[in-house]
Chains A and B, each alone.
Chain A
Amino acid sequence: MYAFEIERPSTIADAVKALSDEDAQALGGGQTLIPTLKQRLAMPATLVSLTGIGEMQGVCAGDNGEVCVGGATNHATVAAETAASYPGLSGLAGHIGDPAVRNRGTVGGSLANNDPSACYPAAALGSGATIITNTRQIAADDYFQGLFETALEEGEVITEVRFPVPEKSHYEKFVQPASRFALVGVFVAKYADGVRVAVTGASENGVFRWTEAEAALASDFSAGALDGLTVPADSMIADLHGSSDYRAHLVKVMTGRAVTAAA
């Protein structure tokens, strides 16, 4: 690692101020950033740790029944505290990485990084979540902008994520067996006004909504409703662990399983 300072602000305001320095970078749980720093692939002058900010911690219920998660809340906490209120989200958070990673990694860190194989982007997009930052509210549909690209501006901090709670939901993850990221992960959520299907791990453009499946499932929320659909393989990731054809195939299989398991 190159040398850097770490600041540990206790308020969002202080964090935002610290991040206004040109070479400052936000540090969530560090479960992706620290391995990157070890490889000397990043050279921040200052890391601004967000995990000590009380107002960014925890899970609560929003005014409209949403599940509101503080941006610095770790995965284990989300898994435990949403088990009753939003089991689909809880299940997703409870299978990220491994137990020790879940005790450190945060929802804000995951969404800010927008790894194309990370789990949280599927939950946010699949729930039509709202990403709250220190300056604004961003709809998930506008937030994800491709591989490691998001709508966040320099120095903008995810302070909270609001997840509308569906009637039924489930996240089905086909694990990449080395990294424990998703080789393909599909989040399916059935709301009163429609179904959302968000796919991670598969596309070269990052998390995406499988709109054909959403339409089919809106009228018939069963795995059988997907029978006639195919997922084009052209923009799918191909790597050591699976071809683009394989990933395209898995999208459909995982979607079907998520629908069947949705509760």
Chain B
Amino acid sequence: MGKGWRVMLVKLAVCLWLLLVGGQAQGQSWPESIAVEQDGQTTWVSMEALREQADVSFRFHDPYLGRQVDIRGHELDSWARDTFGDGVEALTLTAMDGFTVEFDELPGTNWVLVTHHDGKAIGLRDKGPLRLVERDYGERDIENLRLFNDWIWMIERIEGAP
């Protein structure tokens, strides 16, 4: 085996190692379930289930990513009705860093819980694993991200109340 082959094999090994490590990292998406609270009781819904049941898709310009993204997820409104029942009105979504978004009434079809970007499940680094966005954000200035502060990600708890 010549020197050139050995160098090539070493490079290949390094690439494989990086791919393995990188692949592992890309697949990480803590938390793997979110807490669903109602009437003081907490249940857990796995992210896997949420990803599988995601039934809403659309394409829009993501101001955080600065590009067009194919979104897949759940309409928050219908997800809340399915999860908490028709009596639910108020919702509180809490992220891992403690930020909460509150809805005094169900938000209609515009707010979407996102599980996938461009067909791939999103992890923490992709602003996942569960993210809240608005399907239509009107004429808001996409250069001013403060106008999108309610678009929280890494959601870990959703509370429903009448």
Q: Do A and B come from one complex?
A: no
Q: Which residues of A contact B (CB under 8 A)?
A: none
